[in-house]
Amino acid sequence: MSRPRDTRQKDLLRPALDQIIDLKHPLVVLAGKIDWSFLEQRLGGVYKGGPGQPPLPVRLMAGLLILKHMHSLSDEVLTARWAENPYFQFFCGEEVFRHDLPFDRSSLSRWRQRMGEERLAALIQESLRVAQATGALSTKDLARVAVDTTVQPKAIAHPTDARLTHKAIEKLVGFAKDNGITLRQSYLRVAKKAAIMVGRYTHAHQHKRANRQLKFLRTRLGRLIRDINRKIAAKGAEAPDLLARYGPLRDLAIKISMQTQRQRGQKVYSLHAPEVECIGKGKARAPYEFGCKVSVAVPITKPKGGLFVLHAQALHGNPFDGHTLAKAVADIKANTGRNP
């Protein structure tokens, strides 16, 4: 495992942060209550050895994530405020005040993606432990809880068969170009024109013409898949590595080429977010929402420290709400040590 880089150090020419801030400030007190070694043990195990820049300290990234949700800040605002707030820097483990940023805004997104759902659950466990230790969350607040599911919308374009097929063609051509695969034909120009014509014909209610252009797109997509399969098979020793990188994209492209508009069951609605599902909410303004179903549990009472999330989990496959209750109760017990 590669050791996270730690640029935090004392500077003899500058006073330490604990000498210029109020040690009774809520963030300072909270930083002393959190078990940072527990978070480093749970979250630091994701890093693996190998070439590249060492990762950022776990306390820095975990502290940023806690501050982000405590103050409801976006990544951009959090980055700007961290550079001007000594209490934010002390909470994240800095020794002296820094005018430069040791991280980039995109580091937050990459860190969240790398952690995954299971490791980020450790933050919920530690926050609830600190809340109970400080009296912000009492035992009576955990006796009765409210569990509900909702949809977490994803930032995707409205899915259409023509748009998805055209995007799959572009992705396959880009993969071939990046990996030195010479294609027989890319079909980029004719595929773009066909995708445009599908929209025009559909708008004009000329569905037969639109279906012909859609069939044209799917035919070209199938040709690209077969062409890349042949070229990778001819690579010899390089074939296994190429096939490992090409496999997920190929599977998505095959699903897109075979799925239909009125097909029931699992479908692909986005290439960059294949986990997206179509969920019917029954809303008049939006009958269907594209995203992932999530389960959330909160106390029914009003805790002294504000609203606390006792359980949060993504539910893949759009399960029935009643079937998710047992897992939610078990997760609440694991996070709080109490059986609601």
| Same-domain check for residues 244 and 175 | yes
Domains in the chain, number: 3
**Domain closes at, from 258, 288, 308:** 258
Q: Are 295 and 315 in contact (CB under 8 A)?
A: yes
Is residue 87 included in any domain, yes or no? yes
Burial (CB count <10 Å: 0-12, 13-18, 19+), residue 190: middle
Is residue 222 included in any domain, yes or no? yes
Instruction: Look at 202-206, 209-213, 323-327, 334-338 and tell me which has the smallest mean pLDDT.
Output: 334-338
| Same-domain check for residues 25 and 121 | yes
Buried b (16+ CB within 10 A) or exposed e, 279-290: beeeeeeeeebb
Report pLDDT for 6.
54
| Same-domain check for residues 288 and 244 | no
Find the domain containing 93 and state its range.
Answer: 17-134
Report pLDDT for 181.
92
Spell out the residues 6+ positions from residue 182 whose beta carbon is closer than 8 angstroms to its own: 176, 231
| Same-domain check for residues 99 and 194 | no
Tell me the average pLDDT across 125-143: 86
Residue 48 pLDDT class (50, 70, 90 cuts): low
> pLDDT tens for residues 179-224?
999 999 999 999 999 999 999 999 999 999 999 999 999 999 999 9
Residue in 63, 102, 58, 55 with CA at minimum distance from that of residue 83: 102
250 vs 45: CA distance, rounded Å: 31
Mean of the per-residue pLDDT values for the chain? 87
| Same-domain check for residues 62 and 92 | yes
320 vs 198: CA distance, rounded Å: 36
| Same-domain check for residues 54 and 97 | yes
SS3 string, 183-199, reads CCCCCHHHHHHHHHHHH
Is residue 212 included in any domain, yes or no? yes
Place of tokens 């890093």: 47
Indicate the residue type of 102: P
| Same-domain check for residues 254 and 286 | no
| Same-domain check for residues 25 and 128 | yes
Residue in 330, 273, 272 with CA at minimum distance from that of residue 297: 330
> pLDDT tens for residues 221-262?
999 999 999 999 998 888 888 999 999 999 999 999 999 888
Report pLDDT for 81.
92
Is residue 141 included in any domain, yes or no? no
Residue 1 pLDDT class (50, 70, 90 cuts): very low
Is residue 145 included in any domain, yes or no? no
Question: Can you say whether the dihedral through the CA atoms of 210, 216, 222, 227 is positive or negative?
Answer: negative
Residue 47 has pLDDT above 70, yes or no: no
Spell out the residues 6+ positions from residue 250 whose beta carbon is closer than 8 angstroms to its own: 225, 228, 229
| Same-domain check for residues 124 and 191 | no
Residue 15 has pLDDT above 50, yes or no: yes
> pLDDT tens for residues 69-126?
888 899 999 999 999 999 999 999 888 888 888 888 888 888 887 877 777 778 888 8
Is residue 295 included in any domain, yes or no? yes
SS3 string, 264-289, reads CCCCCCCCCCCCCEEEECCCCCCCEE
